[in-house]
């Protein structure tokens, strides 16, 4: 409804109300600018952060989408040029370094491959014990076997898995170590 001066009141007088009402539409716009959904969320967050700092200066609060679209484009362009939208300066930068998860992931993948190669009953026992946290009696009841069979199956399976892991580690260590070439006199 118009006020007596003929001006229409802004539908989004506050930033929080605007974000609540328009977040999904803005996220769809960001998703059209970048291929990765997580990057689209990062892009939108940084664009909204920049918009928040300028909210009082936006002249057309009846349609702030145009301003946010321009900020989305600018942030994406900055990223494309190499700035990256995750490079936001903070008062207190985080301490320490980020751990390298590649060795742990490789170890996990190696173990998963080994377990997937086990016979079904052994795989079930290992899964129920270590992933589901069941004890021998619970596993026995679920599989319809004796608890002693569960314990011996688990023991034998773990011995085989450990031996295979050690064999693979020693083979990897041998292939990684440099070989010495000797010069033989003939």
Residue 124 and residue 74 share a domain:
no
Shared domain for 76 and 124, answered yes or no, is: no
Residue 100 lies in a domain: no
- Is residue 3 situated within a structural domain? no
Which of these three, 54, 80, 106, is where a domain ends? 80
Query: Is residue 59 in a domain?
Result: yes
Give residue 40's domain range: 15-80
Same domain, 75 and 123: no
**CATH number of the domain residue 137 falls in:** 1.10.10.10
pLDDT value of position 4? 47
- In terms of domains, do 19 and 76 share one? yes
Give per-residue pLDDT as tens, 77-109.
877 777 555 555 667 766 667 666 677 677 777
Query: pLDDT (tens digit, 9 = 90+) per residue, 102-123?
Result: 776 777 777 788 888 899 999 9
pLDDT band at 177 (very low <50, low <70, confident <90, very high): low
Q: Is residue 161 part of a domain?
A: yes
Dist. CA 70–CA 114, nearest whole Å: 52
Q: Does residue 31 fall inside a structural domain?
A: yes
The count of structural domains within the chain is 2
Q: Are residues 124 and 71 in the same domain?
A: no
Question: Has residue 5 been placed in a domain?
Answer: no
The pTM of the full predicted model, rounded to 2 decimals, is: 0.41
In a domain, 138, yes or no: yes
Shared-domain flag, residues 74 and 20 = yes
97 within some domain: no
- Verify that 70 and 122 share a domain, yes or no: no
């Amino acid at each position: 409804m118009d006020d007596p001066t003929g001006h229409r009141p802004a539908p989004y007088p506050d930033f929080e109300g605007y974000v609540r009402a328009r977040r999904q539409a803005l996220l769809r716009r960001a998703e059209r600018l970048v291929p990765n959904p997580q990057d689209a969320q990062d892009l939108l967050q940084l664009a909204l952060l920049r918009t928040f700092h300028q909210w009082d200066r936006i002249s057309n609060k009846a349609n702030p989408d145009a301003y946010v679209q321009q900020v989305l484009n600018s942030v994406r362009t900055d990223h494309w040029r190499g700035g990256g939208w995750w490079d936001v300066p903070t008062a207190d930068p985080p301490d320490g370094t980020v751990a390298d998860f590649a060795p742990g992931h490789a170890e996990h993948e190696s173990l998963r491959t080994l377990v997937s190669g086990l016979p079904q009953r052994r795989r079930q026992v290992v899964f129920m014990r270590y992933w589901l946290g069941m004890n021998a009696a619970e596993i026995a009841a679920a599989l319809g076997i004796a608890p002693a069979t569960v314990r011996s199956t688990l023991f034998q399976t773990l011995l085989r898995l450990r031996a295979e892991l050690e064999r693979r580690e020693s083979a990897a260590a041998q292939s990684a170590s440099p070989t010495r070439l000797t010069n033989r006199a003939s």
